[in-house]
């Protein structure tokens, strides 16, 4: 009967994966335990299938309590607030004492409660519990079960195990491919260029000297009005003081390597410069002070990772999501608290990086409508910022001269 129960377990799992479009979430080969899940924006259904025997009701209750705790710890993997767990036991015999009350729907009492229903598929009640499970999860396809010969059971179980392992391999491969599409060559090159430019400034008057910064291309609005638009780009490679350089290069190393691995070098350099230009023009429009630094482009890399999160929602949430948003919020709050920080460049770079990422999109994926709309949006916003910046800067200079 052990082989028959294994066959029931894997046959039901394969049905859920192939016919009901559930995704494999967890597989324990030794314990014969399989978790599958299906999510919408409102609710996630988790079905846990396990081949396990329980002699007593208390042993079953302990396992249910343990499962509640596991689901609570795994909440961050699901974007839905409401979680419904279908806990399915496949066993030889039912517990000897009165356990039927455990079939009553259970609720883990917390802010966003986890609901659980228990199903116990034994030799005596397999058909009845199977129907109850299908009704509870709302299957869209009929599930019919028939137990084949012992030889066929063994062959099929081995094939199902292989199929699930292959599914896991392909899933892991897709994740690896997403995070290793490119190599961070441009990131390292940009690090070298910024560091070299810092030492050139230091050896030619100092990186905090205003005249030196202006000579080497810092953002200076009166000069930009006179036609020196190239300062929008050159200012991206200049840093005012060692601490400024150090903080930005640390950010470039971590953000740059992540973005370049995901997007590839060509897309990365496109995002980096379009974000830097967007941030520079935003700074020109809203900040009249001399400015320099790679911060606009670096915030653009934040924008690129946020755009990645809109395409790979589950993967983003399971990996970098919360940490990235937390770090970004800290930087934004800190920027508003410190007057010397050019928040126009930061926020402009963030928006510009997000839009630039939508223009190039992600490797092996295309959305022509989204890409064209993003390109049009970038050009329109850049034009408006340029005209606005020119107008307010001319008025500002006229007021100073009066």
Give me the helices (H) in 208-320, please.
210-215, 221-225, 231-234, 242-263, 265-286, 295-311, 313-318
- Judged on CB neighbours under 10 Å (0-12, 13-18, 19+), 105 is exposed
Q: Which residues are catalytic, by number?
A: 295, 346
d(CA 228, CA 221): 9
Closest CA to 258 of 326, 309, 198: 309
Cα angle 392, 397, 398; round to 5 = 95
Show the tokens assigned to 193.
């260029």
Q: Which two tokens stand for residue 20?
A: 């009901």
| Cα radius of gyration (the chain) | 29
Nearest Cα residue to 33 out of 50, 45, 15, 47: 50
From the list 104, 110, 112, 111, the residue with the least C-alpha distance to 87 is 104
Phi, psi of 50, rounded to the nearest 5 degrees: -145, 135
Query: What angle in degrees, to the nearest 10, is found between the helix axes of 295-311 and 343-360?
Result: 40
Neighbours of 65 (CB within 10 A): 12
Nearest to 136 by CA among 52, 26, 20, 51: 20
**CB-CB neighbours of 345 under 10 Å:** 34
């Amino acid at each position: 009967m052990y082989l028959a129960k294994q066959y029931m377990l894997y046959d039901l799992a394969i049905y859920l994966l192939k016919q009901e479009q559930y995704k494999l979430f967890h597989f324990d080969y030794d314990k014969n335990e399989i978790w599958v899940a299906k999510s919408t924006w409102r609710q996630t259904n988790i079905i846990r299938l396990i081949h396990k025997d329980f002699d007593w009701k208390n042993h079953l209750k302990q396992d249910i309590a343990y499962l509640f705790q596991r689901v609570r710890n795994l909440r961050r993997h699901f974007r839905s607030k409401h979680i419904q767990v279908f806990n399915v036991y496949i066993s030889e015999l039912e517990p000897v004492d009165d356990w039927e009350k455990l079939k009553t729907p259970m609720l883990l009492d917390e802010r966003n409660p986890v609901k659980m229903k228990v199903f116990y598929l034994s030799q005596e009640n397999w058909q009845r519990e199977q129907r109850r499970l299908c009704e509870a999860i709302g299957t869209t396809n009929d599930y019919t079960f028939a137990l084949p010969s012992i030889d066929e059971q063994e062959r099929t179980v081995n094939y199902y195990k292989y199929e699930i392992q292959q599914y896991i391999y392909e899933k892991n491969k897709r994740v690896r491919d997403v995070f290793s599409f490119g190599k961070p060559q441009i990131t390292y090159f940009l690090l070298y260029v910024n560091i070299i430019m810092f030492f050139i400034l230091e050896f030619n008057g100092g990186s905090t000297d205003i005249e030196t910064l202006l000579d080497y291309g810092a953002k200076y609005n009166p000069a930009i009005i006179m036609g020196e638009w190239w300062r929008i780009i050159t200012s991206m490679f200049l840093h005012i003081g060692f601490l400024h350089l150090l903080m930005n290069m640390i950010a470039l190393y971590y953000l740059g390597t992540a973005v370049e691995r995901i997007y590839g070098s060509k897309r990365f350099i496109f995002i980096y410069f379009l974000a830097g230009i967007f941030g520079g023009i935003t700074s020109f429009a809203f900040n009249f002070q001399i400015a320099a630094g790679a911060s606009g482009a670096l915030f653009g890399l934040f924008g690129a990772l946020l755009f990645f999160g809109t395409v790979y929602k589950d993967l983003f949430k399971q990996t970098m999501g919360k940490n990235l948003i937390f770090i970004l919020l800290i930087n934004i709050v800190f920027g508003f608290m410190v007057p010397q920080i050019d928040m126009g460049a930061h926020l402009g770079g963030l928006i510009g990086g997000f839009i630039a990422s939508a223009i190039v999109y992600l490797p092996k994926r295309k959305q022509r409508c989204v890409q064209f709309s993003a390109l049009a949006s970038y050009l329109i916003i850049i034009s408006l910022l340029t005209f606005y910046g020119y107008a307010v800067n001319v008025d500002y200079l006229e007021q100073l001269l009066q």
